[in-house]
Chain A
Amino acid sequence: MKNIPIEKIAAATPETVAQRIRGLSDRSIAWIFVAPTIFLLLAINIFPLIWTIWLSFTNSRVNRPNRDVEWVGLRNYERILSDSDIWNTMQATAHFLIWTIVLQVLIGFFLAFLINKKFRGNDLWTTIIVFPMMLSPAVVGNFWTFLYQPQIGLFNYVIAFFTGVDPASFSMIGDVNLAPWAIVIADTWMWTPFVMLICLAGLRSIPNSIYEAAECDRASKWRQFWTITIPMVLPFLMLAVLFRGIENFKMFDLVVQLTGGGPGNTTTLTSIDLKREAFEKWRTGYSSAYAVILFVTVFGLASIYVKALNKVKER
């Protein structure tokens, strides 16, 4: 009885009887259940996306509703791709993206490796380490400006305490050279636990028997680490990098509160730049083209990456 699929049982019952006994058919229930979700996503995600694409070919400016909207073809795209400011923004984003991922992967993996040694109370400490990533990035960013204050800030005080530098002599968010690192540090503080949790799941998925077999073969701990641990955690690590990559490419709230894109344009990440174009300069057509380029970039990079990830998984 157990092995007969429900569809077959349903099919064996005459249609009219089935209708009366079972109420709505499975097919109509499936549609009733899925339709509202799809409808809402179409209305609030896909329709706006199509609208963005349309706007990107026009010279629309939302703050001047009376002006005629003209079709300008690819002009917005040409202007964006030849604009040197945008390339500076891209560089700032790349700096942020690369360093946050490198630091978070190194620290996160190391922490997971240590937690996996199963010392007493590791659950409690893991939960404590996880706190930052669940908090509101905007509120956290706002508060980090306080920690980064010259002289009175806790961060400057601690650095001064250990290095002997005058705490009033440097400003993490006011200095052109330090600001890009200020956002990297805050983001790393916030998101390292994310990478750590995923790595921990990877480490815990490795069966003990593999290490036992390696131990019998007299493989050194060092060799076990590089030939068992790393390859088996790699798919997990790559998944963590994918999530962090997408999230940090979209990064807005934490950085906008922390530095506001300054000083100068040193921490103006793409999302912050886009927000200025769209909601401060009100260049709607231009910023729509900008948004489309960003979306295509994320989507393209993510798809290539997922293909690579699947290859690693298959091995």
Chain B
Amino acid sequence: MSFSITEPKKGTKWFAGVLVVGYALITIAPLLWIIATGFKSPTDSISYPPKVIFDPSLEGYVNLFTDRTRATDDMLEAKGEPQTWYEQIARDQGTIISGPSRYGERFLNSIIIGFGSTALCMVLGTAAAYAFSRFRVPLKDDLLFFILSTRMMPPIAVAIPIFLMFRNLGLNDTHLGMILLYTAVNLSLSVWLLKGFIDEIPVEYEEAALIDGYTRFQAFYKVVLPQAATGIASTAIFCLIFAWNEYAFAVLLTSGTAQTAPPFIPTIIGVGGKDWPAVAAGATIFLVPVMVFTILLRKHLLRGITFGAVRK
């Protein structure tokens, strides 16, 4: 190993490592607690002192996905033997499953709206970013700044007229309305990020393609798009995560049909009191995909969160 005077000493590295690992463990603890609570029984979840070791139970998940009614012993007996393992879990709590809960629908809404808006945002964003990167667009800098400034508005501030507009157009509480809204919100991010990625692709490739007889359009989708694929993919994940996490617009503009999971999860209650394992189970299913995406994204994370202002 070559010697460098700027290389930290071994002791320093150890000390830094211990502190960082300590912080990481503290910061991850609440997340592990959420995941663990999802597998606790309701009694274990509210025990004192908090239980670190417990009998794992799927009650939280069963309660999350089902609606139940409390039943007397006679009613339970009249029902006969439970047919499935989840009915068994519900019976053990003295309840009968009356049907599926709305969590499944809300989760599906999150998926439809998240992927729908991301797809639309990518199509519009890539096209606009390409134009801004390669052509002389009049008022380019002003337009780019205008696109960025739309992100500075507090969502609640524009929510009033959007609410009125959607009501007049019949878009309130519809998937289409939410997809259009999230696309508009995410466009600033996608245009800025994608412009950065496309700027990095040498123009010479397209020039060569044009000289070989490609049209501009062919050069765009046969030469530029494949090269920007990584950038487009990571931008798409950022848009997806934003749409997935969004709460303010969702809670104000949706109430049923198109409601996504974030406004729904806090409203989960059990039979008699807050059912923390069910809430934790709902949160776990909702949060873990984002953690997986974070790991996939780690190289472009910094770029994404700063709208491309900081590139590594």
Physical interaction between A and B: yes
Looking at the assembled complex, report how far the CB atom of A209 sits from the nearest CB atom of chain B, in whole angstroms: 9
**Residues A22 and B161 in contact in the complex (CB < 8 Å), given A134-B294, A147-B33, A253-B248:** no
User: Any chain A CB within 8 A of the CB of B48?
Assistant: yes
Once bound together, how far apart are the Cα atoms of A40 and B162, in whole Å? 13
**Which chain A residues lie closer than 8 Å to B30 at the CB level?**
132, 143-144, 147, 154, 189
**Cα A157 to Cα B312 with chains together (Å):** 40
Q: Is the CB of A34 within 8 A of B131?
A: yes
Which chain A residue lies CB-closest to B130?
A: A33
- Asked whether A38 lies within 8 Å of B143 as measured between CB atoms, the reply is yes
Residues of B within 8 A of A6 (CB): 203, 206-207, 210
Q: How far is the CB of A288 from chain B (nearest CB, A)?
A: 6
| Complex alpha-carbon distance, A29 and B147, angstroms | 19
> In the complex, are the beta carbons of A139 and B262 less than 8 A apart?
yes
A263 vs chain B, min Cβ distance (A): 18
Q: Does A130 lie within 8 Å of B301, measured CB to CB?
A: yes
Interface hit among B59-67, B74-82, B93-101, B278-286: B278-286
- Beta-carbon contacts under 8 Å, A151-198 to B: 151-154, 157, 167, 189, 192-194, 197-198
In the complex, chain B residues whose CB is within 8 Å of the CB of A271: 154-156, 248
CA distance A37 to B146 in the complex (A): 12
Given contact pairs A154-B50, A274-B157, A294-B157, A29 touches B216 in the complex (Cβ within 8 A):
yes
Name the interface residues of B89-136: CB closer than 8 Å to any CB of A: 124-125, 127-128, 130-132, 135-136
| CB-nearest residue of chain A to B46 | A152
Question: Chain B's nearest CB lies how many Å from the CB of A120?
Answer: 7
- Known contacts being A24-B215, A34-B143, A125-B21, is A115 close to B16, with CB within 8 Å? yes
Task: Render A14-45 as a binary contact track against B, CB cut-off 8 A, 1 for contact.
Answer: 00000001111011011111101110110111
Contact-residue bracket for chain B: 35 or more
B9's nearest neighbour on chain A, judged by CB, is A117
Please state if A45 and B184 are interface contacts (CB–CB under 8 Å): yes
- Distance, CA A32 to CA B266, complexed state (A): 43
The answer to whether A66 has its CB under 8 Å from any CB of chain B is: no
Taking a contact as CB atoms under 8 Å apart, the answer to whether B216 and A284 are in contact is no
Whether the Cβ atoms of A154 and B29 lie closer than 8 Å is yes
A249 sits at the interface (CB 8 A): yes
A64 at interface, CB cutoff 8 A: no
Report chain A residues within 8 Å CB of B156.
252, 271, 274-275, 278, 291
Complex-state Cα separation, A287 to B306, whole angstroms: 31
The reply to whether the CB of A234 lies closer than 8 angstroms to some CB of chain B is no
Given contacts A114-B19, A131-B294, A291-B154, whether A2 and B6 have CB atoms under 8 Å apart is no
Interface residue ranges of A267-283 to B (CB < 8 Å):
270-271, 274-275, 278-279
Count of chain A to chain B residue pairs whose CB atoms are closer than 8 Å in the complex: 303
* B184–A40 CB distance below 8 A: yes
Q: Give Cα A299 to B146, complex, Å.
A: 12
Flag whether A49 is at the interface (Cβ < 8 A): yes
B1 at the A interface (CB under 8 A):
no
Q: Is the CB of B247 within 8 A of A252?
A: yes
Within 8 A of A (CB), among B153-206: 153-165, 180-181, 183-184, 187, 191, 203-204, 206
Query: Smallest CB–CB gap between A205 and chain B, Å?
Result: 9
CB pair B262 A45 closer than 8 Å: no
Q: Spell out B's residues near A (CB within 8 Å).
A: 4-6, 8, 12-14, 16-17, 19-21, 23-24, 27-31, 33-34, 37, 46-50, 124-125, 127-128, 130-132, 135-137, 143, 146-147, 149-150, 152-165, 180-181, 183-184, 187, 191, 203-204, 206-207, 210-211, 213, 215-218, 220, 241, 244-248, 251-252, 261-263, 265-266, 276, 279-280, 283, 286-287, 290-291, 293-295, 298, 301-302, 305-306, 309-310, 312
5 nearest CB pairs, A to B: A291-B157, A23-B215, A119-B17, A138-B247, A44-B184
What 20 new A-B contacts, CB under 8 Å, besides A189-B30, A291-B156? A36-B127, A40-B183, A44-B162, A45-B158, A48-B160, A49-B161, A51-B161, A121-B17, A122-B20, A135-B31, A135-B291, A136-B286, A138-B262, A138-B265, A139-B287, A198-B302, A250-B153, A278-B159, A279-B163, A287-B160
- Residue numbers of A with Cβ under 8 A of B are 2, 6, 9, 21-24, 26-27, 29-34, 36-38, 40-41, 43-49, 51-52, 55, 62, 111, 114-115, 117-123, 125-139, 142-144, 146-147, 149, 151-154, 157, 167, 189, 192-194, 197-198, 200-201, 204, 208, 211-212, 215, 236, 239, 243, 246, 249-250, 252-253, 257, 270-271, 274-275, 278-279, 284, 287-288, 291-292, 294-295, 298-299, 302
